[in-house]
Amino acid sequence: MPEPTASSTQRQSLAQRLRALLEGPELLVMPCCFDALSARMIEAAGFPLTFMSGFAVSASRLGAPDTGLISYGEMLDQGRSICAATSIPVIGDADTGYGNPMNVKRTVEGYARAGFACAMIEDQLAPKRCGHTRGKQVVDREEAAARIHAAVAAREAGHDVLVMARTDARHDHGLDEAIERCRIFADLGADILFLEAPQSEAEMEKLCAELPGPKMANMVEGGDTPVLAPARLQELGFKIAAYPLTLLSCAVAAMQDALGALERGETPSGLMSFEALRDAVGFPEYEAELERLSAK
């Protein structure tokens, strides 16, 4: 089969490009973004896709924890800015879908219109919280299945978007229940499965062996799941390795260091040059386009 040309690749939708990535042989290493700048930097670094992290968006936009405080409208608005700033496929954290199955369907439709290639729907009881914190609860199987059914219905109604189905059942209900929920989600038509917070490498191996299709591993530094090397994740059977908090954690640490230096009357270390910062935020592209549009 011939390799796709540049022009045919450009004609593909973002959802089609994500499907093509999922069909490839290699594990997809996926740093997660929280705003337009972080998404732009992920693409500039050469990564083929990214994920809008709900934890990171709640932290950066509200200065608040990921405990269900951020709304659908705020997440959608952030997502529009992220999708507009990058040309790679973006997966969007759509939390619980923000209500009953009709809300879930509307949420997935809204994410598709905003430019997301995929929307993630989970089975937590609202208000949800970070999957690696204590106190989270899940709805029963029937309600969880209804959410994924509604999300798939949005896709099948003609919206060009994939569905990632997530379960947080491992924490309170055990691995077998979490695997069974993922199996139900796959039967309903979910494109990607995400069993959150397996607690050992053996559990990660088991879920990959028993579940069909592409599966995502969530590499939260300091979380419940072992942070394994990408090569090992691929051996186990994962298709995506997500790093939801790595960029946010590094950014917060760097800001704390810089603020400490300023408080001591010092110049912070590790600063980018002004020219490099201009490049990172897109001044060269802006100026080139302005010159093109201004030409007679």
What is the per-residue pLDDT for 248?
97
Token representation of residue 104: 């879930």
Residues 124, 190, single domain; the answer is: yes
Helix (H) / strand (E) element for 51: namely strand 50-52
Where does residue 174 fall: left (phi above 0), alpha (psi -120 to 50 degrees), or beta otherwise? left
pLDDT at 36: 98
User: 125 lies in which domain range?
Assistant: 13-247
- 262 and 164 in a common domain: no
CB atoms < 10 A from the CB of 19, how many? 17
Residue 68 confidence (pLDDT): 87
List, in sequence order, every beta strand (DSSP E) within 135-210.
Answer: 162-167, 192-195
Same-domain status, 242 and 275 = no
143 with 272, same domain?
A: no
The count of structural domains within the chain is 2
Tell whether 232 is covered by a domain. Answer: yes
Question: How many other CB atoms are found less than 10 A from the CB of residue 220?
Answer: 20
Q: What is residue 170's predicted lDDT score, i.e. its pLDDT?
A: 94
* pLDDT above 70 coverage of the chain, percent: 94
Indicate the average pLDDT of the chain: 93
Q: Is the pLDDT of residue 18 over 60?
A: yes
What pLDDT does residue 279 have? Answer: 95
Domain boundary among 229, 247, 265: 247
Q: Are residues 129 and 269 in the same domain?
A: no
Task: Check whether residue 104 and residue 218 sit in a common domain.
Answer: yes
Q: Determine how many CB atoms are found less than 10 A away from the CB of residue 195.
A: 28
170-184 pLDDT, tens digit per residue, is 988 999 999 999 999
Q: Are residues 243 and 283 in the same domain?
A: no
Buried b (16+ CB within 10 A) or exposed e, 249-258: eebeeeeeeb
* 51: in domain: yes
Strand order in the sheet with 240-243: 192-195, 162-167, 118-122, 90-93, 50-52, 28-33, 240-243, 216-218
Does the structure show a pLDDT above 70 at 9? no
In a domain, 237, yes or no: yes
Please state, in angstroms and rounded to a whole number, the distance separating the CA atoms of residues 238 and 16.
20
pLDDT the model gives residue 115: 97
Position 7 in a domain: no
Domain at 224, CATH number: 3.20.20.60
On whether residue 2 sits in a domain, the answer given is: no
Band of residue 217 on the pLDDT scale cut at 50, 70, 90: very high
Residue 15 pLDDT grade (very low, low, confident, very high; cuts 50, 70, 90): very high
Q: Which of 160, 134, 164 is nearest to 240 (CA)?
A: 164
* Confidence category of residue 133, pLDDT binned at 50, 70, 90: low
In terms of domains, do 269 and 169 share one? no
- pLDDT at position 181, please? 98
Residue-wise pLDDT for 87-123, tens only, equals: 999 999 999 999 999 999 999 999 999 999 999 999 9
Angstrom distance (rounded) from CA 70 to CA 27: 31
Quick one: 63 and 196 in the same domain?
Answer: yes
Of the candidates 123, 174, 168, 176, the one whose C-alpha atom is nearest the C-alpha of residue 148 is: 123
235 inside domain: yes
pLDDT at 3 exceeding the cut of 60: no
Same domain, 232 and 163: yes
Q: Is residue 4 part of a domain?
A: no
At 135-168, the pLDDT tens digits run 678 999 999 999 999 999 999 999 999 999 999 9
pLDDT attached to residue 128: 74
User: Is pLDDT above 70 for 8?
Assistant: no
- Are 212 and 283 in a shared domain? no
Tell me whether residue 165 is in a domain.
yes
| Distance from the Cα of residue 161 to its chain's centroid | 14
Q: In this predicted structure, what is the pLDDT of residue 129?
A: 66
pLDDT for residue 131 is more than 60: no
Tell me, yes or no, whether 216 and 263 share the same domain: no
- Output the pLDDT for position 5: 40
